[in-house]
Amino acid sequence: MAVSRDHLSCSKRYYVNCLCLLLRSIKHSVQSYAVILLIIGQNISILEMTMENTRTIILLSLAGYLLLVKGITVINTWSFTDATKSAFDVLANSKHHPGDVNNVLDAIVAGCNRCEIDQCDHTVGYGASPDTNGETTLDAMILDGTYKQMGAVGQLRRVKAAIKVARAVLHYSAHSILVGDGALQFAKVMGFQEESLTTSFSETLFRNWQHAKCQPNYFRNVYLQNSSCPPYRPIAYDGDMQSHPAEDTASQSLVAESNHDTIGIVVLDSHGNMGAGTSSNGANHKIAGRVGDATIPGAGAYVDSKIGGAAATGDGDIMMRFLPSSQAVQHMANGFHPRVACHKALSSIGAIYPNFKGGLVCLNRFGEYAGVGYGWNFTFSVQTSEMLTPRIVIADIISVQ
């Protein structure tokens, strides 16, 4: 059947409008537009032959998108989907060559910093989890799984973008970890703005804690720990102090889904480069000076581009003693699926500390992923090349025996 030029022009405009609506709905990058338009340009004859079939142009558009982001995976602890998407978009827009890992580092920074800005669940970023002095301090780490580079900060004061300071440690120092006032001094040299991390919310948390006689807290083996605020006087060691792991209950009443400590993220780019990162404001009412597992490689996160990566959340003071992220990666190196690797790493902690609470996300170099929780409900967020938006997944749970 003959088709008039006017009708063809009108139909083309209709399909272009459909394409624009589709692109807006999935928020593509400029690069994605270019790829999709190239596909359409090369297949204009197909469009002209199938004017009645809207699905053709939609499928072409989706094909362009999937080709562009082939092999990309981002996974992070908890349902922080904005962080997932921020990291994924960086990888999808990347123009780096295969040996350049800066896109992976950019993605980790984008994901973690999104949570720092949004104050995800008040467990990441400024304005929450005050320590025993009433101050919010931050922990963060960034890991490159290809060249084994890392940077981390612990007990960082008065700088909001902890993950960016961690990356600066990686790029602008020969060290791996900076902590406390030294980390602040370094951040200022690197041009980061010094500002208070206290908000009305964190002030209220601290004030309420003081009114409750500083209960609960993380001290042990001191006089009046359960009935007053610090400072405390230590009980003289007599060989009969609390020491058995099963009795180490100082943090059990504090660690919960609303005080879980950390976004941990693992990413895989289209060239097979992997990276991992963390950001946290630590445990609520922690003893001033505490550094959490989010700063410790192998504990808060670990990654090897030849194998896979993992990131942790939960009771960091217990979990860092076992390096669960490193354990999980080693299990994947031994051929175990990410789900089994997560399970085995957490179970090794539970064998000693049966009442701890924690979670792991694991991603191998093939893009297979999983999340497992121990002792609590745990969710994670993931986006792969086959997904247009991040997906929240309920993790497998290891029940406390």
3-state SS class at 132: coil
Q: Give the pLDDT of residue 99.
A: 78
Q: Is residue 384 part of an annotated ligand binding site? A: no
Say how far apart CA 377 and CA 395 lie, in whole Å. 8
What's the Cα-to-Cα distance from 110 to each of 46, 65, 158, 161, 305, rounded to whole Å? 39, 21, 20, 11, 20
- Pair of tokens at residue 316: 């960091």
User: Is residue 358 part of an annotated ligand binding site?
Assistant: no
- From 136, 137, 262, 295, active-site residue: 262
Cβ neighbours for 223, distance < 8 A, ≥ 6 positions apart:
232, 233, 234, 235
In this structure, what token pair is assigned to residue 46? 């197909």
Q: Is the bond preceding 216 in cis, omega lying within 30 degrees of 0?
A: yes
Confirm whether residue 314 is marked as ligand binding.
yes
Tell me if 274 sits within 8 A of 145, measured CB to CB: yes
pLDDT tens digits, 190-205:
999 999 999 999 999 9
Annotated binding-site residue? 291:
yes
**CATH T-level assignment (fold) for domain 73-197+254-398:** Glutamine Phosphoribosylpyrophosphate, subunit 1, domain 1 (3.60.20)
The answer to whether residues 154 and 177 touch, using CB atoms and an 8 Å cutoff, is yes
Residue 377 identity (one-letter amino acid): N
The amino acid at residue 231 is P
Rounded to whole angstroms, how far apart are CA atoms 350 and 348? 6
Residue 389 CB-half CA count within 13 A? 10
293 is annotated as contributing to ligand binding: yes
- Identify the pLDDT of residue 94: 86
Residues lower than pLDDT 70 in the chain: 1-70, 239-261, 401
Contact 55, 63 (CB under 8 A): no
- The reply, when asked if residue 315 is annotated as ligand binding, is yes
Q: Is residue 199 marked as binding?
A: no
Question: Is residue 290 a known part of a binding site?
Answer: yes
What does the domain layout of the chain look like in residue ranges?
Answer: 5-68, 73-197+254-398
Q: How far is residue 109's CA from residue 102's CA, in Å, rounded to a whole number?
A: 10
Please state the pTM of the whole predicted model: 0.81
Upper half-sphere CA count for residue 261 (Cβ side, 13 Å): 33
Residue 198 annotated as catalytic:
no
